[in-house]
Structure 1
Amino acid sequence: MYILNQGEFLGHISRRFDTHQGLTLIETVYHTYVYQGSHFHQNTHLTLFLQGGTFEKRKHLSDDVRPGNLRFYYSGEIHQNLNTRFPSKNINLDISADFFSKQQLDEADIDRALVKNPHARAILLKMYKEALLPDRFSNDSILMLFHQLIDPTTSFQRKKKPAWVIQLNELLQDCWSEPTSLAELSRILKVNPITISKHFPRYFGCTLSEYIRRVKVSRALQRIRQPAVSLTALAYECGFADQSHFTRILKEQTGFLPKQLQKL
């Protein structure tokens, strides 16, 4: 069994930014054959695939990982990466055990957040942008962005959360591309629209329109590196008014322009 120590990855590490607070952003690239046997990482980490991809095998999951996919790995979780497509590029967030202790978190908090949080990819890209252009505030900014990543988990996991909150989240995830009004959501959920309007920011951390924009950006990030996809077509496909609108929202949420993301 091959064991990867803190901050180690199978590919070539082209960039590394350590916040010295337990979070390390690591860019890895793959141009040649890498080890295809079973391995695990000592540290918890999550990976955003930017380019190329691989076929990944885990104990209870096997799938073809492509650009735009975001994956979470528990500390010590055994997996294999087969038939890596060259060139490949990933952004990895390495999380130390000490960080979990200091922040009073566990791995399951992050695992749930990646499922619940529609803008997880955008947040990781913002962290990456901070690492590319570091200043004296970058360490703290990345920590703040990390808490934005897990905040929806805190909201959704409250013991006394209303049932309509979970139902609404599922509804918005499934119907993100369809025109939706507060009145229509109220009718479907059988909840007073005033109740939804009043409590939505508490449970989702933003307004309804902002949440929908985040979902659209998340969808776009999964498609933006695919060949023969024009930015204009992608903008309309993901529900933006036009390419200009798409560009503005993407820059606002990720720190990158669409063409910059295509070249990462």
Structure 2
Amino acid sequence: METLKTGRFYGQTNQTLHLDFATITDTEYTHDKVDWHYHENAYFTFILDGNVIEGNKKEVYHCKAGSLLFHNWQDPHYNIKPRGYTRGFHIELKEDWFDGLSLSHNKLQGSFAIADPQVKLLFYKLFRESKTNDALTPLATEALLLQILGKMQGDNKLSVNRTPVWVRKIRELMADDVAQKFTLAQLAGSLNIHPVHLSRDFSKYFNCTLSEYIRLLRVQKAFTLLPNKNLNLTAIAMECGFADQSHFLRCFKSYSQQNPLVYRNLLLRAC
């Protein structure tokens, strides 16, 4: 089984950025199928555009734009690319970086998908920072990665066995259609819990309020639609459930600190 060295991924490499603590690679997927293989580093894969199927010994992931996967050291997997253009953004982490910062990677075992919209929005900021690539990029990138790892390890403090069923259900319910008009009564009824219970305990498991979470999901969805040149900003706003383009622009800038056109230009341009 092949082991891929740092910065090497199957496909066309648009950009490789070597930092003291990580290597960032922007890749277009060109192989219809890639057999079982390892990577020598733990890394994140963030799908920017298109679709790819990735399988490991435990699970198969059908990834689309906005999907985020983590792979630990020496974890084997394979890839299948459906027809069409697919682009991924990879961040490989150096093991000695974890040791130097006393970060434990024991909680980040195997391969798994990350659904948290807050973490995904941080990855879009990482992508933007990699394209800025100036003297402050290493500092900004390391700070963003520490935010991400801290968020992931913080979430792991809550045992799966102690997480209520409604937490998983509400994630699935909202992911099905972020554009629908949610009400507290409707959501509580679907989850079979009291509205007071839902509003009181939501932030305990999601680290934000219910309304903030819905806005996060809608902004995240907007990011995945930006590479589609057939959709203007008004169409994207409607598809994501925003009242109008003005509301969309305000929400987008509040979470990303940039106009969506800035990201659209980055996502459409292979560097």
Q: TM-score, normalised by structure 1?
A: 0.76
Structure 1: which amino acid aligns with 2:225?
R
Say if 2:2 is the partner of 1:6.
Answer: no
Task: Identify if the C-alpha distance between structure 1 residues 41 and 171 changes in structure 2 by more than 3 Å, giving closer, same or farther.
Answer: same
For residues 171 and 31 of structure 1, the distance between their equivalents in structure 2, rounded to whole angstroms, comes to 31
Contact 2:202 2:209 in 1 (8 A): yes
Contact 1:27 1:89 in 2 (8 A): no
For residues 9 and 65 of structure 1, the distance between their equivalents in structure 2, rounded to whole angstroms, comes to 17
Say if 2:241 is the partner of 1:239.
Answer: yes
Q: Identity rate of aligned residues, in percent?
A: 26
- Unpaired runs of 5+ residues, structure 1, are none
- Unpaired runs of 5+ residues, structure 2, are none
Contact 2:68 2:120 in 1 (8 A): yes
| SS of alignment partner, residue 111 of structure 1 | strand
How far is 1:36 from its partner?
5.3
Deviations 1:58-88 (A, max 9, x none): 66777876544434434332324668866x6
How far is 1:233 from its partner?
0.8
Deviations 1:13-46 (A, max 9, x none): 524152x4x4x25132449889956532111222
For residues 60 and 161 of structure 1, the distance between their equivalents in structure 2, rounded to whole angstroms, comes to 22
Relative contact order: is structure 1 or structure 2 higher (C-alpha 8 Å, sep ≥ 6)? 1
Specify the alignment match of 1:191 in structure 2.
193
Deviations 1:171-203 (A, max 9, x none): 333353322222333333343333322222221
Structure 2: which amino acid aligns with 1:128?
F
Specify the alignment match of 2:112 in structure 1.
111
Specify the alignment match of 2:143 in structure 1.
141
Specify the alignment match of 2:183 in structure 1.
181
Deviations 1:85-128 (A, max 9, x none): 66x6432121234455632233348725x03x134431211123
Structure 2: which amino acid aligns with 1:39?
H
For residues 242 and 148 of structure 1, the distance between their equivalents in structure 2, rounded to whole angstroms, comes to 35
Deviations 1:194-225 (A, max 9, x none): 33222222210111111001111222223221
TM alignment of 1:52-131, pairs within 5 A: 67-76=65-74, 77-80=76-79, 89-99=87-97, 102-105=102-105, 106-108=107-109, 111=112, 114-115=114-115, 117-131=116-130
Contact 1:56 1:79 in 2 (8 A): yes
Q: What is the aligned residue count?
A: 258
Contact 1:186 1:196 in 2 (8 A): yes
Structure 1: which amino acid aligns with 2:15?
S
For residues 188 and 194 of structure 1, the distance between their equivalents in structure 2, rounded to whole angstroms, comes to 14
| SS of alignment partner, residue 228 of structure 1 | coil
| SS of alignment partner, residue 107 of structure 1 | coil
Q: After the TM superposition, which of the residue ranges 221-230 and 207-216 deviates more from structure 2? A: 221-230
Task: Identify if the C-alpha distance between structure 1 residues 84 and 54 changes in structure 2 by more than 3 Å, giving closer, same or farther.
Answer: farther
How far is 1:238 from its partner?
0.7
CA RMSD of aligned residues (A): 3.7
How far is 1:235 from its partner?
0.8
Structure 2: which amino acid aligns with 1:111?
F
Task: Identify if the C-alpha distance between structure 1 residues 67 and 203 changes in structure 2 by more than 3 Å, giving closer, same or farther.
Answer: closer
For residues 72 and 64 of structure 2, the distance between their equivalents in structure 1, rounded to whole angstroms, comes to 20
| SS of alignment partner, residue 126 of structure 2 | helix
| SS of alignment partner, residue 104 of structure 1 | coil
Contact 1:30 1:89 in 2 (8 A): yes
Structure 1: which amino acid aligns with 2:17?
R
